[in-house]
Every structure is written in structure tokens, then in C-alpha cells.
């Protein structure tokens, strides 16, 4: 034992558990500040933004008062056209009046405008806002049905609860289904979800050519992206974990088998920021706000934006956005980037993509300030002790140069414009290679097809000095490189793709479901090398290629959508059942032998019994359905319902995973999906409705009765 060190006996498991419980109890009993107690005032905040003139003087009072109010709830309708339009009809009809169950009391005056209204700038009335806060909905019994509606539809992936201003960046990117898209700072994923929906906008193409790479630096936040992606059931997304300011290059395979460096058609750079635009949702920012917050973030925001335009294809577009109002984090970053790009990128106006959106144009003049609110007009005025906090590139362009940068094309959305949070959005277009890209690396990346060497160590080509170079060298990002951080986080399971149609488990699956040869089994993967394959996932061909080409140099977190699940049921011909998540992507490859046309009343009955242990007997179904099931083999199947003789422009066509048992038929889907489909079909969902307030009252009443009985028993024993 070392000199002077006291021996401390190791604590056993029970002692550690007791200590942990003490810490929990201490934490739970510690006084915590509620949002009500936070004083929504900050003199520095008001002084700083008055000086920056982000709001006209006559609107200042309206702006600052709105900043101090809580943020209303907003959501988007997602999913297929038919399901979205049916859900839209429900929201616009009497159903929403019923779930906004406001009693005839004082609450009426507080929530008289609670009924949702559509956002004018969002296409096809698919985005809505409620004049209620999250707290109103969660804590008031009057809105328990609304709360249930939002939870079930969110979990089934048919609505997305998202801030109004957060919906703008994907809209101004002008996306089509063939685009290669990078979301550089994607977590928590609401904008990523929008990008995926846009990729799948053409429902005639189940697996589009485009894709989304969603990246985030924080390993834990990457799993929030995984959760978002699972709700949307897309095989066209890859989630990665990298520092986006030094994002590595991806390579991909051309049609002729050669390798190229990937350039993106669209990039979303929603960069980390001070977040003062979210004060209505996060009022604790009022206590922490300082001008220094924006100054400290300017550098990393610029580096992310710069790396973004380097990864952009010529003719491609990048949206730079923040939830900050600060020009140091917004216009100053863009001015610096535009100045260094020397005309190779320019700002474009995104107004045409969001008609009806109210916003202020970008600033052309601002004043950087120190933590103590000393404002400066130019770099020469900055004293030496502040020159590490305020940098020369933070200052606005000279008046005679300001016009060429077109900073007025930026959009600053303020809370009082349409009762939202604050946000900043700018659209950049790349029109030619960047000045620092004009070297051998860029020429090979942009113009020259790279030949794939026979091994990673094989050298190829020469540079201007006649020195040998290899493929790995060519794939480094442009410009000076920071020392790469060691990748942290969980060790991911491998991505093991099927080699061909002779993969050991594939022939039995293909035969049982009569799967067409048009489905390439090489796009199926599992997450283990050995042992039983529990789940089989499906990806698009382009995502598969990206994984195969980059698996050794990119940290990949997740891809693929669950399509087949092992089901070791005795006497089953096939050991795998279908998964609802991946059904829409492969249903057109599956033969009619595993598809059952089902009547509306039968489907409603199956959905209402979906969470019961005992599924409905076939004898209880309509005779037409019974006849169809007579010669139908046991096992996993697809239930299909089509709306006929309807005036709807988009008639419902539902496809659900089912299970044909010996004597029964069931819908093999989650409870959330069952409620969603029941709602679309006009079925009774009341058996799924939970009033947590009534449940709590019942539990409390039961506890009182039990306590009373226990007291009476104690008294009788004592006697």
C-alpha cells in the first residue's frame, strides 16, 4: 500500500444501492425552480437588441411582451396522402370540437381561441397551431382527449409535434425525391423528419432515389434521431455521429463501378446557437442570457457553415439556420463566409417557398458587443483585453460593399409576427467551386472519377510534384485540419448485408411470401455476424452503397427499416413474420398468396381487439372474409382494405400486417397504430381512451379504503 494512503474497504452492492437512493431522495426533495418563478426579464437582452435594431422601434413593446408569453403548441400532419387528408378532415370537422372538451366555466374565457388553425405558409393545410401551451394540454383534465390524440398520432408517426418556425428551413430547401441531402446537426430530428417526408413525396415510388444522411456530434442525441426515423419507416436514411465542422467525405459507387466523392444536392446546417429565440419555450434562458454567448459560438457556427458549402454540389443549396436572434450568430457568419467565398456562393430569396410567412429581412449593419455591453463600430475601437472575445470577422461589411452580399435576403422570424418562437433562416446557392477548392483534391472530387485501388494501401495517381498519393489522402476535408477527436459513445453492432439471393435464411422467406426477384436481397441486412438473426432490415440501394463504401471511416449509428422479425412458432413453414414498419416498402414485391382483402366492419373488429391476448375467431367475421380465408395458409399475412364508392379525392387504402391462426385472425400492429386506423375508419376508440386524472382519483379512493380497512383490522387485533 502506498505511503500515507488510508485503506478504504470496498462497499458492497447493498451499501451502494442505499447511497444511491439517498442521493435520489435528496434530489427529489430539493427545491426546484418552476417556470412560473422565473422572472422573464433581462435588461442586457433588451439593451443589446434595441441597439441592434432587429425590431422597428414602434414594434418593440409588442415584441418584448410576446417574448415573455408561453409558446403555443403546433403540429404537422404526415403520412400518406390519403391518410393525411382523412386526418385533416377530422381536425377540421366536429371531432376536434369534441376533444377540446372545455367545460362551461371560467376556463372558457382563457381558451376561447383554443381551436386549431392552419399555418398559411405550409402546403395543403398540413400544419396547425393551437392557442394552448404544452402545460395547458398536459395538466388540464379538460384537454385529456386532445392529449391522448396527440400522443397516439405522434407515436404512430402520423403527426409530428414541432415548433412553427422549425418547419421553415426544410420548406425553403426546395427538395425533390432524387436529392442527396445532408442534415449536419440533425438532433433531435423534427426537421430531419420533414426532409424524409419530402424525399417520399411521390407515393408512386416506394423507394425513391434520394436519401438523407442525418448527422449529430452528440452520441446520445443520435438515438433521438433513431427514434424519429423509426416513426417514419423510411429505408432512405443513414444516421451518423461526427463533428460536422470536420465532416469527412463520403465515397459512393458510380454505375460503371468506379468510386467518387459524394457531393450533396441539399444541405441543412441548423447550427448550435445561444437559443434566445426559444425563450418562450425555455424561459430559463432569460436568467443566463449574455452577449458573450453569441460571440463564443460565432467560430464554430462559421466552421460548420464553411464545411457545409465544401460538401455542396455545384448548383446545390444549403440552408443556414439558428434559433437565435443575434446578428453575430447569423448575418456576421454569413458575411464572413460570403466574403471568403469570393462569389462562388450567394444568398437567394426563399420567400416563394413560404408564401404567407411574416418575417423581417436580414440586417446589413450591427454592432458587436462585449459581455459588459460595450458596443463597437469597428475593429480598431476594440481594446486589447477584448480582442480574444470580439474578432475582426464579426463586424458588418462597409456601406459601399454591403449591397453585393444581399444580406437582406435572409429571414428573421420574430415571436410577434405570427405568435411563434424566434428563428433565422438563410438560403445559400453554390454556383462554382470555392477558391480554396481549386487544387488537385477538388479537381479529383468534382471533375475526375476516382479509380478504386485493389486494396486500401495501393497507391494511385500523382500530384503536380510527382509524389505518390493514395485514396485516403484524397478524401480528407479541405483546409487546415484540427486534431481529430477519438470517437466516443456506444459500440455499434455491425451492418451485415445479405451477399446474394442464396443467403441461408432468404430462400424460405422468398418462397413463403412469393417475393418477386425484383426485390434485391442485397439491400437486406442484419446486425450480427453469428447466431440467430432476430430482425431483418431493408435499405435503399443507395444507402446500402454508402454503408459499404464508408463503414471503415464513418461512424454509423443506424440505418434500415425493420421488415422481417423472427417468429419461432411450431409448425410454421417460414421462421420470419412481416413487420408493420417495413411493410409499405416491400408490399408491392409480395405475391397475392399472402394478401387478404378485408371488409371495413371486419377490420374495425380486428383493430378493437388488437391488444387482447385472445384474437377474434374467424367464425365471427363476415362470410365473405371467411370464404377468402378457407384455403389461406397459416402464418403472417397482409390485410388490405380499400375504400370504394367514395367521393374522396384520395380514397383510403390501408395495408396492415396480420396473422392467420388455426381458428383466428388478428391485426399484428401496435396499439398506437390500431387507434390511428380506427380513427380513420370512424370506429369506436373509447376503449383505448385513458383519463389519467380519473385514474388517479380512483387509485386515491382505493388507497383510502384500504388504509381504512387496515386501521380497522389493527383496532380489532388490539381489542
Catalytically active residues, by annotation: 323
188 cis-preceded (ω within 30 degrees of 0) = yes
- Identify the sign of the CA torsion 22, 25, 29, 33: positive
The pairing of strands 635-642 and 653-660 is antiparallel
- Cell numbers placing 632: 389461406
Number of residues assigned to the chain: 719
Q: Which residues contact 360 (CB under 8 A, 6 or more apart)?
A: 54, 55, 411, 412, 413, 414, 417
Give the side-chain half-sphere CA count within 13 A for 217: 14
Which of 360, 401, 371, 367 has its CA nearest to residue 381? 367
Distance between CA atoms of 448 and 474, rounded to whole angstroms? 12
User: Which residues face 656 on adjacent strands?
Assistant: 639
Q: How far is CA 209 from the centre of its chain?
A: 20
Whole-angstrom distance, CA of residue 341 vs CA of residue 433? 9
Tell me how far CA of residue 22 lies from CA of 9, 27, 28, 30, 33, in angstroms. Answer: 20, 9, 10, 12, 21
Nearby residues of 202 by Cβ (< 8 Å), 6 or more positions away: 177, 208
Residue 364 near residue 402, CB atoms below 8 Å: yes
Which triple of cell numbers denotes residue 249?
467525405
Residue 83 to residues 107, 123, 252, 651, 677, Cα–Cα distance (Å):
33, 16, 36, 9, 9
Question: What are the helix (H) ranges across 551-622?
Answer: 583-586, 600-608
Contact 159, 78 (CB under 8 A): yes
Question: 355 by DSSP, 3-state: which?
Answer: coil
The answer to whether the CB of 608 falls within 8 A of the CB of 684 is: yes
- Angstrom distances, CA of residue 312 to CA of 182, 263, 432: 9, 5, 10
Crossing angle of helices 671-681 and 81-92, rounded to 10°: 70
Dihedral angle computed from the Cα positions of residues 701, 707, 712 and 718, in that order, rounded to the nearest 10 degrees: -170
Amino acid at each position: 500500500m502506498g505511503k500515507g494512503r488510508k485503506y478504504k474497504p470496498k462497499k458492497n452492492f447493498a451499501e451502494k444501492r442505499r447511497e444511491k437512493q439517498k442521493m435520489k431522495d435528496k434530489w427529489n426533495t430539493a427545491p426546484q425552480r418552476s417556470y412560473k418563478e422565473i422572472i422573464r426579464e433581462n435588461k442586457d437582452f433588451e439593451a443589446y437588441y434595441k441597439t441592434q435594431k432587429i425590431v422597428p422601434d414602434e414594434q418593440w413593446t409588442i415584441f418584448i411582451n410576446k417574448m415573455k408569453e408561453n409558446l403555443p403548441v403546433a403540429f404537422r400532419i404526415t403520412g400518406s396522402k390519403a391518410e393525411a387528408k382523412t386526418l385533416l378532415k377530422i381536425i377540421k370537422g366536429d371531432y376536434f370540437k369534441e376533444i377540446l372538451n372545455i367545460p362551461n366555466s371560467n376556463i372558457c374565457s382563457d381558451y376561447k381561441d383554443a381551436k386549431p388553425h392552419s399555418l398559411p405558409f405550409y402546403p395543403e393545410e398540413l400544419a396547425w397551431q393551437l392557442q394552448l401551451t404544452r402545460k395547458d394540454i398536459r395538466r388540464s383534465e379538460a384537454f385529456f382527449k386532445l392529449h391522448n390524440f396527440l400522443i397516439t398520432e405522434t407515436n404512430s408517426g402520423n403527426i409530428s409535434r414541432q415548433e412553427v418556425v422549425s418547419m421553415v428551413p426544410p420548406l425553403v430547401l426546395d427538395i425533390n425525391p432524387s436529392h442527396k441531402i445532408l442534415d449536419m446537426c440533425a438532433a433531435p430530428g423534427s426537421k430531419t423528419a420533414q426532409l424524409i417526408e419530402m424525399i417520399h413525396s411521390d407515393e408512386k415510388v416506394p423507394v425513391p432515389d434520394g436519401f438523407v444522411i442525418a448527422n449529430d456530434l452528440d452520441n446520445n442525441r443520435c438515438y433521438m434521431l433513431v427514434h424519429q426515423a423509426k416513426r417514419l419507416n423510411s429505408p432512405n436514411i443513414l444516421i451518423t455521429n461526427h463533428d460536422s465542422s470536420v465532416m469527412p467525405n463520403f465515397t459512393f459507387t458510380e454505375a460503371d463501378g468506379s468510386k467518387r466523392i459524394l457531393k450533396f444536392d441539399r444541405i441543412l446546417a441548423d447550427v448550435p446557437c445561444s437559443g434566445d429565440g426559444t425563450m418562450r419555450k425555455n424561459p430559463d434562458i432569460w436568467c443566463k442570457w449574455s452577449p458573450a454567448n453569441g460571440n463564443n459560438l460565432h467560430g464554430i457556427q462559421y466552421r460548420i457553415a464553411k464545411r457545409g458549402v465544401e460538401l455542396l454540389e455545384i448548383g446545390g443549396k444549403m440552408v443556414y439556420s439558428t434559433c437565435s436572434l443575434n446578428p453575430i450568430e447569423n448575418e456576421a457568419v454569413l458575411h464572413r463566409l460570403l466574403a471568403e467565398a469570393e462569389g462562388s456562393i450567394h444568398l437567394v430569396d426563399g420567400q416563394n417557398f413560404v408564401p404567407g410567412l411574416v418575417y423581417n429581412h436580414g440586417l446589413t449593419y450591427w454592432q458587436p458587443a462585449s459581455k459588459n455591453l460595450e458596443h463597437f463600430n469597428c475593429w480598431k475601437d476594440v481594446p486589447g483585453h477584448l480582442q480574444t472575445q470580439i474578432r475582426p470577422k464579426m463586424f458588418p461589411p462597409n456601406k459601399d460593399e454591403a449591397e453585393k452580399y444581399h444580406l437582406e435576403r435572409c429571414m428573421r422570424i420574430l415571436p410577434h409576427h405570427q405568435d411563434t418562437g424566434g428563428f433565422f433562416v438563410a438560403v445559400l446557392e453554390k454556383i462554382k467551386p470555392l477558391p480554396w477548392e481549386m487544387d488537385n483534391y477538388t479537381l479529383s472530387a468534382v471533375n475526375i472519377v476516382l479509380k478504386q485501388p485493389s486494396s486500401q494501401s495501393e497507391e494511385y495517381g500523382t500530384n503536380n510534384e510527382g509524389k505518390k498519393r493514395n485514396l485516403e489522402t484524397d478524401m480528407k476535408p479541405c483546409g487546415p485540419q484540427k486534431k481529430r477527436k477519438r470517437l466516443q459513445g456506444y459500440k455499434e453492432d455491425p451492418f451485415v448485408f445479405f451477399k446474394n439471393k442464396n443467403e441461408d435464411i432468404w430462400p424460405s422467406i422468398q418462397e413463403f411470401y412469393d417475393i418477386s426477384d425484383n426485390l434485391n436481397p442485397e439491400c437486406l441486412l442484419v446486425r450480427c455476424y453469428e447466431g440467430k438473426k432476430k430482425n431483418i432490415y431493408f435499405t435503399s440501394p443507395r444507402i446500402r452503397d454508402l454503408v459499404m463504401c464508408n463503414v471503415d471511416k464513418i461512424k454509423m449509428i443506424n440505418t434500415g427499416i425493420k421488415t422481417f422479425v423472427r417468429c419461432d412458432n411450431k409448425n410454421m413453414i417460414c421462421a420470419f413474420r412481416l413487420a408493420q414498419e417495413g411493410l409499405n416498402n416491400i408490399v408491392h414485391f409480395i405475391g397475392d398468396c399472402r394478401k387478404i382483402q378485408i371488409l371495413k366492419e371486419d377490420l374495425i373488429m380486428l383493430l378493437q381487439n388488437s391488444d387482447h391476448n385472445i384474437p377474434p375467431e374467424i367464425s365471427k367475421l363476415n362470410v365473405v372474409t371467411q370464404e377468402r380465408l378457407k384455403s389461406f395458409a397459416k402464418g403472417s399475412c397482409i390485410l388490405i382494405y380499400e375504400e370504394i364508392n367514395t367521393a374522396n379525392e384520395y380514397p383510403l387504402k390501408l395495408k396492415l400486417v396480420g396473422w392467420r391462426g388455426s381458428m383466428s385472425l388478428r391485426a399484428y400492429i401496435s396499439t398506437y397504430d390500431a387507434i390511428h386506423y380506427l380513427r380513420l375508419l370512424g370506429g369506436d376508440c373509447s376503449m383505448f381512451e385513458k383519463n389519467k386524472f380519473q385514474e388517479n382519483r380512483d387509485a386515491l379512493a382505493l388507497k383510502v379504503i384500504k388504509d381504512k380497512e387496515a386501521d380497522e383490522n389493527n383496532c380489532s387485533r388490539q381489542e
